[in-house]
Amino acid sequence: MDRPGGVRRALLALATAPAVALAAALAGCGSDPDTTTGSATRAAVEDITVAAASDLRVAFEELGASFTDATGTEVTFSFGSSGQLKQQVLNGAPFDVFASANVAFVDEVVAAGRADGATQATYGFGRIVVYTDSPGPNAVTTLDGLAAAEVRNVAIANPEHAPYGLAAEQALRAVGVWDEVRPKLVLGENVSDTLRLATTGNADVAIVALSLVAAVDDGTWTLVDDALHEPLEQALVATDVDPTKAEAARAFVDHVTSPAGREVLRRYGFVLPDEGAG
C-alpha cells in the first residue's frame, strides 16, 4: 500500500528544517515581555516535570530541549496514556504540567481544583494512521484490510484510558470491521507502546498516532479519515502542585503554543486549532 505521498512529503520537508530556525525564533521573542517566549525566558527554576500523552514523545522532547535552551529550566517528561496520567494528577502526583491527548481529561483536573484553568490551552488535534513495519506493495495499511485473514494481530492502545485507542475503535466501528478485527486485537498501554508492538513483530499492523511516525522512514502507513472518529482535541494545563514552579509551568505552556512551538507540532502532523479541527 502506498504511503500518503503529499502529506508525507510535506511533513518530511518540515522535518528537515534546521534546529537553528527554532532557536532564532526563540531568541527573537526573548526580549519582548509581552510574547509567550518572553514569559518563558523569565522562568528561573531549575526544573519542571511534565506529564504528557505518549503521542507527544517525539515532539515534546524537541520542545523540551528548546525550552531549556531559552530558559535554563530543565524539563523532565513522564509519558503515558492520558487517562492514567489524569488519574495520577488527580491523586496529587508531582507534575507541573499536564498535556493530554483528550481535552476532557484536562477539563476534569481543572474542575477538581488540581490545575490553573487560566492556563488551559488546546495545542492541536491528533491524527491516526494504520501502520505496518512490513515493507512492500502488499503491506496492509487500510482499515478494511485489517479484516483480511492474513492479518493475524492488530495493535491499538487500550481504549479504556488511551484516547488514540478509543479513536481506533471508533474508526474500526465506522467502517464496519470492528467485529472481525476485535478477536485479533493486541492492546498497548499507550500509543507509543502500541507502535512498539508493531515494530517488534508482536503485531502485524497497528493503529497509532501520526505524530510518532510522521518524520521517520521505517514502515508503511496510511492516514485514517478523521471523519471516522471523534476529534482528538489535545490540551495542556499548568497544575498547582508546586507554587514555586508555577511561573515556569505557565512558561512551558506558553512555549508549546508559541509560534515556534506550533511549527514543531505542525511538523509532527498535528492539526493546529485555528487550521482545522480534525
Show me where the domains of the chain are located: 5-125+231-275, 126-228
Distance CA 102, CA 82 (A): 7
Per-residue confidence of the chain (278 residues) as pLDDT tens digits?
334 433 333 333 333 333 333 333 333 333 343 444 444 444 467 899 999 999 999 999 999 999 999 999 999 999 999 999 999 999 999 999 999 999 999 999 999 999 999 999 999 999 999 999 987 666 788 999 999 999 999 999 999 999 999 999 999 999 999 999 999 999 999 999 999 999 999 999 999 999 999 877 788 999 999 999 999 999 999 998 899 999 999 999 999 999 999 999 999 999 999 886 54
Distance CA 69, CA 43 (A): 12
Cβ proximity of 101 and 126 under 8 Å: yes
If you count them, how many residues does the chain have?
278
198 CB-contact burial (10 Å; exposed 0-12 / middle 13-18 / buried 19+): buried
- The structure's pTM equals 0.83
What pLDDT does 136 receive? Answer: 64
* Common-topology check for domains 5-125+231-275 and 126-228: yes
Q: Pick from 100, 70, 68: which is nearest to 86 by CA?
A: 100
**CATH superfamily, domain at 5-125+231-275:** Periplasmic binding protein-like II (3.40.190.10)
**Beta strands in 45-161, from DSSP E residues, in sequence order:** 47-53, 74-80, 97-100, 121-126, 128-132, 154-157
Question: Is 3.40.190.10 the CATH number for 126-228?
Answer: yes
Q: How far is CA 37 from CA 8, 12, 255, in A?
A: 29, 26, 6
Cβ proximity of 132 and 198 under 8 Å: yes
